[in-house]
Amino acid sequence: MTHPLFQKHKATLDAALEAIRTRGYWSPYPEAPSPKIYGETAKEDGERAMQARIGKRFALDQPGISGWLATERSPYGVTLDIHYPECDTEALLAAARSAQSAWQRVGAAGRVGICLEMLDRINRRSFEIAQAVMLTTGQGWMMAFQAGGPHAQDRGLEAVAYAWDEMSRIPSESIWEKPQGKNPPLKMQKQFEIVGRGVALVIGCGTFPTWNTYPGLFAALATGNPVIVKPHPNAVLPAAITVEIAREVLQEQGLDPNLVSLAVFENPARTRALATDPRVRSIDFTGSNVFGQWLMDNARQAQVYAELAGVNHVVIESTDRYKGMLRNLAFTLSLYAGQMCTTTQAIIVPADGIETDQGHKSFDDVAADLATALETFLADTNVATAVLGAIQSEATLARIEEAHTLGRVVLASKRIDHPDFPSAEVRTPVLLACDAADESLYMEERFGPIAFVVKTADAAAAIALAERLGSERGALTAGIYSTRDEVVQAMTEASWHAGVALSINLTSGVFVNQSGAFSDYHGTGMNPAANAAYSDSAFVANRFRVIQRRRHID
């Protein structure tokens, strides 16, 4: 039942198990990019490792290599030109399947130990991964380090902890003894084997190639499944490094490295063929509603865990920290230029305005003051470029342009020159105002730095609208600002109905678009924005089955 790597990482696992039960703050992977923690040369080593990849082949000894593909275009304008192996789908699937039995035999503790070793090594490569995340996604460096490194690792570990929590409660063996009155009891030995359901496909997104990949990758792996990672074509490198590390650990353990492989395709039809192959039994997907819905409609042989679009929202009814609220919201809207699946899009304010510690503020005051807060926060170019990062896709750039024709522009988006990356497309948020009735404007996700201040008749209408946005359009995050308990309670009930996590009166250093592993559930799985959460027991329990056998014993 034990394994050297399980023993090695047991203290981390135990602490993670305690953390998911108590849900306080905890992390084993320091988020401070400090040389004292990660080593004096860690930053330079990471940069050097990144530079060494540029223009080269990323060698992975996978089966069925038919060619080499370079698909990445850096939002910072840096030439990457890294070539990844394009492998035959059948070869990847067959290799994944043939690696599964030995992985099953390693047992739950062995699998968990090996996953924790992978995460530990990934953690030590955080600076290299940060470079890869930054250059492929357009995130600012600090965010790329934290969200792409330690925070993503936290989410991976969290999934492993949930997997262990479920698997460890299944005994490997039992003795069943049923009394038979005066006769001797019936006595049986029963054995219970945890069996992964089959090949897991993890489809990454272009903005968070590790944070949104690690939960599915490690949940599937720990529960006994081979995993094929299919990254977004524009953010392959962070996934490729991760796969490389996983394969290295497997090989060291005498296991088949093809248990974890990377799928990079020229033709998107190959992703669809892979996703619908009968051997693929689970799919973790983060991305568009269009492809997510296609997967749910067509990959019916697989359990699909999908994080899709939503309309995140905040209701402002009143506040006793007006400036803190505005600063908080300005940061939320600015961080990675709104390219987070958790960024607020609709800020819902009653037509009559709100009461604050700075006196009554009209609807227009709130909109104008938020615009000012954004301008003030982003006035320093160094701060602005560090927080905003670069715009990840052409589609988002186009949406920003188009946004200026939607509703009343309270604050226009500006292009900022990045001091270090002249070709980087850096944009400040556009803030719009509209009436609740203008549903076509704000009721669909407009991914990127685009937010609406939405006018409702009153606070009750604001809360009703929030509930409807969550229920009908989906949301990963919701916020409420109010000094009145009954309003907070009404919004709380709305959040239960819509199935959205709620942040109340955030005015300091926590932001509605941030969720911390082991404590905050990311998504709930209860509204159209996501059918699963990072992480809960539902995220892992369906990824394996228990196959029993029984026989009489004397």
21 vs 484 by CB, closer to its own copies = 21
55 vs 496 by CB, closer to its own copies = 496
**Using CB under 8 A, which of 81, 177, 252, 357 touches its own copies?**
177
36 vs 379 by CB, closer to its own copies = 36
- Residues 312 to 331 in contact with its own copies, rule: CB under 8 A: none
| 68 near its own copies, rule: CB under 8 A | no
Report the alpha-carbon angle 221-223-229, nearest 5. Answer: 25
# residues contacting its own copies (CB under 8 A) = 64
- Residues 495 to 514 in contact with its own copies, rule: CB under 8 A: 495-496, 499-510
Which is nearest to 439 in space by CA: 548, 313, 281, 291?
Answer: 313
| 254 near its own copies, rule: CB under 8 A | no
CA gap 88, 26 in Å, rounded: 42
CA gap 538, 153 in Å, rounded: 20
Q: Shortest approach of its own copies to residue 336 CB, angstroms?
A: 20
CA gap 466, 292 in Å, rounded: 24
3-class state of residue 173 by DSSP: strand
What are the residues whose beta carbons fall under 8 Å from the beta carbon of 121, sequence distance 6 or more?
Answer: 245, 248, 249
- Residues 277 to 316 in contact with its own copies, rule: CB under 8 A: 296, 300
Which structure tokens are listed for 183?
């006769």
In terms of Cβ atoms closer than 10 Å to its own Cβ (0-12, 13-18, 19+), residue 419 is exposed
| 477 near its own copies, rule: CB under 8 A | no
372 vs 542 by CB, closer to its own copies = 542
Name the one range near its own copies by CB under 8 A: 116-124, 135-143, 376-384, 491-499.
491-499
| 484 near its own copies, rule: CB under 8 A | no
Q: What are the two backbone dihedrals, phi and then psi, of residue 426, each rounded to the nearest 5 degrees?
A: -100, 130
| 525 near its own copies, rule: CB under 8 A | yes
Which structure tokens are listed for 80?
């990457």
319 vs 339 by CB, closer to its own copies = 319
| 516 near its own copies, rule: CB under 8 A | yes
- Residues 13 to 52 in contact with its own copies, rule: CB under 8 A: 21-25
Determine how many CB atoms are found less than 10 A away from the CB of residue 106: 19
- Residues 136 to 165 in contact with its own copies, rule: CB under 8 A: 165
Name the one range near its own copies by CB under 8 A: 110-118, 130-138, 240-248, 529-537.
529-537
**Using CB under 8 A, which of 197, 247, 313, 427 touches its own copies?**
197
Name the one range near its own copies by CB under 8 A: 39-47, 175-183, 308-316, 336-344.
175-183
| 78 near its own copies, rule: CB under 8 A | no
CA gap 45, 162 in Å, rounded: 33
50 vs 157 by CB, closer to its own copies = 157
CA gap 405, 452 in Å, rounded: 12
The secondary structure of residue 428, as a DSSP letter, is: P
CA gap 84, 240 in Å, rounded: 8
3-state SS of 210-230 is CCCCHHHHHHHHHCCCCEEEE
DSSP H or E run through 53: helix 42-53
CA gap 89, 502 in Å, rounded: 42
CA gap 537, 168 in Å, rounded: 13
335 vs 433 by CB, closer to its own copies = 335
CB 31 within 8 A of CB 135: no
| 524 near its own copies, rule: CB under 8 A | yes
| 192 near its own copies, rule: CB under 8 A | yes
What does the binding site for its own copies look like in residue numbers (CB under 8 A)? 21-25, 101, 104, 165-166, 169, 171, 174-180, 186, 188, 190, 192-193, 195, 197, 296, 300, 492-493, 495-496, 499-510, 516, 519-521, 524-526, 533, 536-538, 541-542, 545-552
